[in-house]
C-alpha cells in the first residue's frame, strides 16, 4: 500500500507583537495607542493609569506623595484590579472603578511623585510584565521601551511640544467643566516633564531603538494611521 503523500499543514501560531509607546504627559499617546490597538487587534494597556491609581489612593488618604517611607507603608493597602472588557481597560481601586478620578491635575501630580519611588515601581512591575508575557499588547507609559519591555517588537516615542500638550489638556478639562486656566495647565505639564525626565529611577527618555514621532501638526486620525503604519512596517505585516 502506498503511503499518502502531501504537504503538511503549517500549524505554527504567529505570536502577536508587543508594542511599547513612551512619551511625555499630555502628548496624546494613550488615546492614539488605544485606537491603534483596536485597529490592529491588539490589547491596549495604559500603565500610566496604574501609577495614577496609586497616586489617587495617596491623594484620597492624605499620604504625602513625596514621603517615600509613608508611601511604601501604605502600599499593602492599595488594592488595584486591572481587567479588560471588550478591549477596554478597567481599573478599580478597592473594588471601585476609578474612572476619571485619576485624570485630574492633582492626580497627575501625585502620580508623577509616587512614580519616582522604588517601592511603587516594584509594586507595579510584576503586574505589567505578566501582561507582557501574554503578548499582543500595546503598552504606553514613560519607561516601557527602556525598562518594562526592553525586548518589545516595536518602540515608539510619541511626543509634542509642551505648548501643544497644554492646549490639548486645557480643552479637555474645560469640556469636562473643570475651571482651570491655560497657564495653570502649561505650568503643570512643564513641572511634570521636569520631574519625569530628572528622576533617578527610569527617567523619561526615548529608547535607543525607538521611532520618534512628533505629533504637533497631525490630527488624531493621522496620528493613529502613522502609528499603525510604523507597527506594520516594524513587524513585517504580522498585524
pLDDT 10s digits, 143-165:
899 999 999 999 999 999 999 99
Checking if the pLDDT of 1 tops 50, the result is no
The mean pLDDT value of the chain amounts to: 89
Does the residue 198 lie in any domain?
Answer: yes
Does the residue 153 lie in any domain?
Answer: yes
- For residue 238, with 0-12 CB atoms within 10 Å meaning exposed, 13-18 middle and 19 or more buried, which class applies? middle
Over residues 91-108, mean pLDDT? 91
Does the residue 9 lie in any domain?
Answer: no
Residues 6+ apart with CB under 8 A from 166: 26, 182, 185, 186, 189
Does the residue 192 lie in any domain?
Answer: yes
* pTM recorded for the entire structure: 0.76
Checking if the pLDDT of 184 tops 80, the result is yes
The CATH number linked to 84 is 3.40.50.300
Q: What is the spatial distance between Cα 211 and Cα 232, in angstroms, rounded to a whole number? A: 13
Question: What pLDDT does 180 receive?
Answer: 92
pLDDT digits (tens, 9 = 90+) for 35-70: 999 999 998 988 888 999 999 999 999 999 999 999
Does the residue 14 lie in any domain?
Answer: no
Does the residue 101 lie in any domain?
Answer: yes
Q: pLDDT grade, residue 216 (50/70/90)?
A: very high
Residue 63 sits at the vertex; the CA angle it makes with 60 and 66, to the nearest 5 degrees, is: 125
| Total number of domains constituting the chain | 1
- Residue range(s) defining the domain that contains residue 30: 19-232
pLDDT digits (tens, 9 = 90+) for 5-14: 555 555 455 6
Does the residue 120 lie in any domain?
Answer: yes
Does the residue 238 lie in any domain?
Answer: no
C-alpha distances (whole Å) from 199 to each of 16, 103, 116, 163 are 33, 22, 6, 22
Over residues 25-41, mean pLDDT? 92
Question: What pLDDT does 3 receive?
Answer: 47
Half-sphere exposure in the Cβ direction for 205 (13 Å, CA): 13
Amino acid at each position: 500500500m502506498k503511503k499518502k503523500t502531501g504537504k503538511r499543514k503549517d500549524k505554527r501560531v504567529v505570536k502577536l507583537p508587543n508594542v511599547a509607546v513612551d512619551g511625555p504627559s499630555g502628548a496624546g499617546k494613550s488615546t492614539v495607542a488605544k485606537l491603534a490597538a483596536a485597529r490592529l487587534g491588539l490589547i491596549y494597556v495604559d500603565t500610566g493609569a496604574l501609577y495614577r491609581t496609586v497616586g489617587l489612593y495617596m491623594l484620597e488618604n492624605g499620604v504625602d506623595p513625596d514621603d517615600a517611607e509613608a508611601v511604601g507603608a501604605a502600599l499593602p493597602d492599595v488594592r488595584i484590579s486591572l481587567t479588560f472588557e471588550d478591549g477596554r481597560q478597567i481599573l478599580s481601586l478597592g473594588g471601585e472603578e476609578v474612572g476619571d478620578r485619576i485624570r485630574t491635575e492633582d492626580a497627575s501630580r501625585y502620580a508623577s511623585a509616587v512614580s519616582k519611588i522604588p517601592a511603587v515601581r516594584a509594586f507595579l512591575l510584576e503586574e505589567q510584565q505578566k501582561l507582557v508575557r501574554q503578548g499582543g499588547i500595546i503598552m504606553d507609559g514613560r519607561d516601557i521601551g527602556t525598562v518594562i519591555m526592553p525586548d518589545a517588537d516595536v518602540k515608539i516615542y510619541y511626543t509634542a511640544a509642551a505648548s501643544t500638550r497644554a492646549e490639548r489638556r486645557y480643552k479637555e478639562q474645560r469640556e469636562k467643566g473643570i475651571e482651570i486656566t491655560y497657564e495653570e495647565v502649561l505650568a503643570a505639564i512643564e513641572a511634570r516633564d521636569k520631574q519625569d525626565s530628572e528622576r533617578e529611577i527610569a527617567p523619561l527618555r526615548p529608547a535607543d531603538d525607538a521611532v520618534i514621532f512628533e505629533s504637533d501638526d497631525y490630527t488624531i486620525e493621522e496620528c493613529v494611521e502613522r502609528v499603525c503604519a510604523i507597527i506594520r512596517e516594524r513587524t513585517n505585516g504580522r498585524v
